Amino acid sequence: MSDDQNELNPEETNNPEASIETPSEVAEAPLTTGVTAEILEIINIADAIKRQLSRVVVGQTDLMDLMIIAILTKGHILIEGVPGVAKTLTAKLFAQTVNADFSRIQFTPDLMPSDILGTNIFNAKKNDFEFKAGPIFANIVVADEINRAPAKTQAAMFEVMQEAQVSVDGETRSMGDAFMVLATQNPIDNEGTYNLPEAQLDRFLFKIVVDYPSLSEDVKILQRFQNDFDMKEADKMEKVVDLAKLVKLRATIEKVTISNQILEYIAGIIQETRVTGDLFLGASSRAAIWLMKASKATAALRGRNFVTPDDVRWVTKPVLNHRIILSPQREMEGVPASTILQQIIEKVEVPR
């Protein structure tokens, strides 16, 4: 991982099918000594998932790590990128490595809330209505091109994401603790799209921007699929972990130690987004909580039971880049949110 993962240079990283706009700071190699059995189990599961994904996807280890962090912290992910950079493929294959119910929803401008939530249908044999569940009733849901759905359908989707429950005709059905959404959106084609409001974007733990692969990465992709036109290797993905196990390991993430100095560091970053003149809208308290959760999970993936400033810095950009709004001046200048966040990271004093 590079020093500024939010603006990775594809030529300088082994980040495949796409370079990813993610955190800042160099990731540490996971430790293998002096760690608890639970943290070692998290490391082994993460490695197993990434080995399976690497059979098809070239690189993208940052995206894989962030997906694992999201599922360990009960978060949702928004993946943004141009068509053809393996956004949906990576999300779908990730879901297939976990032994859990999986569904994929293709969002379109005419998609109605009942199309994803389900509806009550009259059963003539029973002379009564019975509920026909929609595709949202799965443990892991890939929401493809979520910004193509109209506002009413988006609102229904985000209600499920926030409350982990579905209400139809006055009856509420729980989604359970294992519910996770991996959403994608295309930032280029604006025809037939509906921008996600900031309040709805705030439901996502991460927003990860996937860029074009480099020349060397494109060569690797071509070499991998020169004799596999139908991508049959994707059909050979193995389930390496039960979702119930990942849910159980969330308790291990909660137990990761975070000092008051690190908590003050997180609060300092959040406060700086609110006072800087470069931003019209700063990060909320919910963003601070998610930054803390993601930092704990990052520490566990790196083989530690305590959080360091590097863990916080590594996840700051993907946690915050969709929760802030640039000032009109910076927006007119075309300054990316990642640049402002990097300046904030460098400005806030690191605890010693």
- Amino acid 346: pLDDT: 93
Residues with Cβ within 8 Å of residue 44, at least 6 apart in sequence: none
Residues 6+ apart with CB under 8 A from 43: 30, 32, 35, 300, 301, 303
Instruction: Say how many Å lie between the first and final Cα of the chain, rounded.
Output: 23
CB proximity list for 308: less than 8 A, separation 6 or greater: 262, 299
pLDDT at 258: 95
Check residue 13 and give its pLDDT: 41
In terms of C-beta density within 10 A (0-12 exposed, 13-18 middle, 19 or more buried), how is residue 158 classed? buried
> How many angstroms separate the CA atoms of 310 and 27, rounded?
8
H helices present in 87-209, as ranges: 87-96, 113-117, 151-163, 198-201
29 DSSP assignment: P
pLDDT digits (tens, 9 = 90+) for 89-114: 888 888 888 888 888 999 988 899 88
What does the DSSP assignment read for 88-114?
A: HHHHHHHHHTEES-EEEEE--TT--HH
Rg (the chain; Cα; Å)? 20
**Distance in angstroms (rounded) separating the CA atoms of residues 318 and 315:** 6
DSSP 176: -
DSSP per-residue codes, 268-294: HHHHHHHH-TTEEE---HHHHHHHHHH
The distance of Cα 253 from the centroid of its chain, to the nearest Å, equals 17
Q: Which whole-number Å values give the CA distances from 206 to 63, 141, 193, 202, 336, in the listed order? A: 10, 16, 21, 9, 17
Q: Which pLDDT value is given to residue 186?
A: 80
How does pLDDT run across 168-210, given as a tens digit for each residue? 877 888 887 788 899 988 877 666 677 787 878 888 999 998 8
CA dist 252 → 37, 45, 215, 247 (Å):
10, 14, 40, 10
Provide the pLDDT for residue 233. Answer: 83
The CATH fold of domain 5-347? Rossmann fold (3.40.50)
How far apart CA 176 and CA 56 sit, in angstroms, is 30
Confirm if 131 and 122 have CB atoms less than 8 A apart: no
Whole-number pLDDT of residue 16:
41
SS3 for 123? Answer: strand
> CA-CA distance, 195 to 50, in Å (whole number)?
32
CB count within 10 Å of CB 26 equals: 12
The tokens for 207 are 């927003």
d(CA 352, CA 259): 11
Note the pLDDT of residue 5.
42
User: Would you state the pLDDT for residue 311?
Assistant: 96
Return the pLDDT at 189: 66
Domain boundaries, the chain: 5-347
Q: Which long-range contacts (CB under 8 A, 24 or more apart) does 295-300 make?
A: 295/258, 295/262, 295/266, 296/73, 296/253, 296/254, 296/256, 296/258, 297/68, 297/69, 297/72, 297/73, 297/253, 297/256, 298/65, 298/69, 299/256, 300/39, 300/42, 300/43, 300/72, 300/252, 300/253, 300/256
E strand or H helix at 129, and its extent? strand 128-133
352 residues of the chain, pLDDT tens digit each? 444 444 444 444 444 444 444 444 434 555 554 578 889 999 999 999 999 998 888 877 888 899 999 999 999 999 988 888 888 888 888 888 888 888 899 998 889 988 999 888 888 888 888 888 889 998 888 898 888 888 888 888 888 888 888 888 778 888 877 888 999 888 776 666 777 878 788 889 999 988 888 888 889 889 988 888 888 888 888 888 888 888 889 999 999 999 999 999 999 999 999 999 999 999 999 999 999 999 999 999 999 999 999 999 999 999 999 999 999 998 898 888 889 999 999 999 998 8
Query: Are the C-beta atoms of 175 and 70 separated by less than 8 Å?
Result: no
pLDDT of residue 11: 41
